[in-house]
Amino acid sequence: MKKIVIILLGVLIFCGCGKPREPLNTITLWHWMTDRDPALQELARRYAKQTGVKVQVELYAPSDTYTQRIIAAAQARVLPDIYGILDKKEIFASFIDNGFVADLSPYFKKDNGAWEKSFFAQALDVNRFPQGNIYKIPPGIYGVPIDVTNIQMLYNKNLLKKAGIARPPLTFDEFMADVAALHRVGVTGFVSGWGEMWMVDCFASNYAFNIMGEEKVMATFRGELAYTSGEWLKVLRVFQTMAAPGVLAEGIVTKTNKDAEQAFALERAAFAFNGYWCVNVYNQMNPKLAYGVMMPPVINSERPMKIWGGAGSSFVVNNHSPNKEQAVAFLKWLTAKEQQTFLSQATLNLPANRAALSDIPPVLADFAKVMDQTTHPTIWPYNEHPLVTEALDRGLQSIVIGEKTPQQVAQEVQAVKVRVMAKKK
Amino acid sequence: MKAKIGAFPYSSGMEALRCYAFIIPAVVIFGIFYIYPFFEIFNLSLRDWNGIDLHKTYVGFDNFRELFHDRIWGQSLLNAGFITFIALTLQNMLALALALACDRDIRAKNFYRVVFFIPPILSEVVVGFIWRWILNAGSQNGEYYGLLNYALSKLGFQNLAHNWLSNPDSALICIALVHSWKGFGWGFLMLLAGLQTVDKQLYEAARVDGAGSWSAFKNITLPLMMPVIWVVMILTVLGSMQVFVLILSMVGQGLVYHTEVPVTRILSAMTGTNRFGYACAMGVTFGAILVGVSVAFRALAGKMKPA
Residue A65: which residues within 8 A CB-CB, separation 6 or more?
A32
The three-class DSSP label of residue B127 is: helix
Partners of A273 in the β-ladder: A153
**Per-residue pLDDT tens digits for B37-57:** 999 999 999 999 988 888 889
* A156 close contact with B: CB closer than 8 A: no
* B31 close contact with A: CB closer than 8 A: no
- Could you check whether A22-146+312-335 and A150-309+382-424 share the same CATH topology? yes
- Tell me the C-alpha distance between A409 and A413, whole Å: 6
**Per-residue pLDDT tens digits for B65-93:** 999 999 999 999 999 999 999 999 999 99
What is the enclosing helix (H) or strand (E) of B140?
Answer: strand B139-140
The three-class DSSP label of residue B156 is: coil
The pLDDT, as a whole number, for residue B298 is 84
Tell me if B264 sits within 8 A of B254, measured CB to CB: yes
pTM of the entire predicted model: 0.81
The residues in B 275-304 lying below 8 A from A, measured between CB atoms, are: 275
The pLDDT, as a whole number, for residue B306 is 58
Three-state SS sequence of chain A: CHHHHHHHHHHHHHHHCCCCCCCCCEEEEEECCHHHHHHHHHHHHHHHHHHCCEEEEEECCCHHHHHHHHHHHHHCCCCCCEECCCCCHHHHHHHHHCCCECCCHHHHHHHHHHHHHCECHHHHHCCEECCCCCCCCCCEECCEECEEEEEEEEEEHHHHHHCCCCCCCCEHHHHHHHHHHHHHCCCCCEECCCCCHHHHHHHHHHHHHHHHHHHHHHHHHHCCCCCCCHHHHHHHHHHHHHCCCCCECCCHHHCCHHHHHHHHHCCCCCEEEEECCHHHHHHHHCCCCCEEEECCCECCCCCCCCEEEEECCEEEEECCCCCHHHHHHHHHHHCCHHHHHHHHHHHCCEECEHHHHHHCCHHHHHHHCCHHHEECHHHCCCCCCHHHHHHHHHHHHHHHCCCCCHHHHHHHHHHHHHHHHHHHC
Q: Do A67 and B53 touch (CB under 8 A)?
A: no
Please tell me the distance in Å from A184's CA to the nearest CA on chain B: 10
User: How large is the angle between the packed helices B147-154 and B124-134, nearest 10 degrees?
Assistant: 30
Residue ranges covered by each domain of chain A: 22-146+312-335, 150-309+382-424
Which one of B32, B130, B166 would you mutate to disrupt binding with A, by most A Cβ within 10 Å of its Cβ?
B166
Residue in chain B lying closest to A185 (CA): B141
Contacts of B275 in chain A (CB under 8 A): 386
Q: What is the mean pLDDT of residues B124-153?
A: 88
- What is this model's ipTM? 0.81
Contacts of A67 in chain B (CB under 8 A): 271
Contacts of A87 in chain B (CB under 8 A): 274
The pLDDT, as a whole number, for residue B144 is 84
Helices and strands in chain B: count of H runs, count of E runs: 16, 4
Amino acid at A403: E
Q: Is A424 left (phi over 0), alpha (psi -120 to 50) or beta?
A: alpha
Q: Do B252 and A249 touch (CB under 8 A)?
A: no
- Tell me the C-alpha distance between B80 and B58, whole Å: 31
Q: Do A64 and B253 touch (CB under 8 A)?
A: no
* A319 close contact with B: CB closer than 8 A: no
The pLDDT, as a whole number, for residue B3 is 46
Contacts of A256 in chain B (CB under 8 A): 252
Q: What is the mean pLDDT of residues B10-21?
A: 81
The residues in A 231-270 lying below 8 A from B, measured between CB atoms, are: 249-256, 263, 268
Contacts of B54 in chain A (CB under 8 A): 98
The pLDDT, as a whole number, for residue B2 is 47
- Tell me the C-alpha distance between A262 and A280, whole Å: 12
Please tell me the distance in Å from B104's CA to the nearest CA on chain A: 44
CATH superfamily of A22-146+312-335: Periplasmic binding protein-like II (3.40.190.10)
Picking from B53, B255, B271, the nearest residue to A254 by CB comes out as B255
**Per-residue pLDDT tens digits for A62-74:** 887 898 899 889 9
Contacts of B165 in chain A (CB under 8 A): 251, 254
Q: Do B256 and A394 touch (CB under 8 A)?
A: yes
Sign of CA dihedral B23, B29, B30, B35: positive
**Per-residue pLDDT tens digits for A258-284:** 889 999 999 999 999 999 888 888 988
Phi, psi of A140 (to 5 degrees): 165, 175
- Tell me the C-alpha distance between A25 and A52, whole Å: 7
Partners of B47 in the β-ladder: B58
The pLDDT, as a whole number, for residue A12 is 53
Residues of chain A with pLDDT under 50: 18
* A73 close contact with B: CB closer than 8 A: no
| Fold of the domain spanning A150-309+382-424 | D-Maltodextrin-Binding Protein; domain 2 (3.40.190)
Domain architecture of chain B: domains with CATH: 67-303 (1.10.3720.10)
Contacts of B139 in chain A (CB under 8 A): 250
Contacts of B271 in chain A (CB under 8 A): 64, 67-68
- Tell me the C-alpha distance between A363 and A154, whole Å: 11
The pLDDT, as a whole number, for residue B36 is 93
The pLDDT, as a whole number, for residue A10 is 60
- Tell me the C-alpha distance between A415 and A419, whole Å: 6
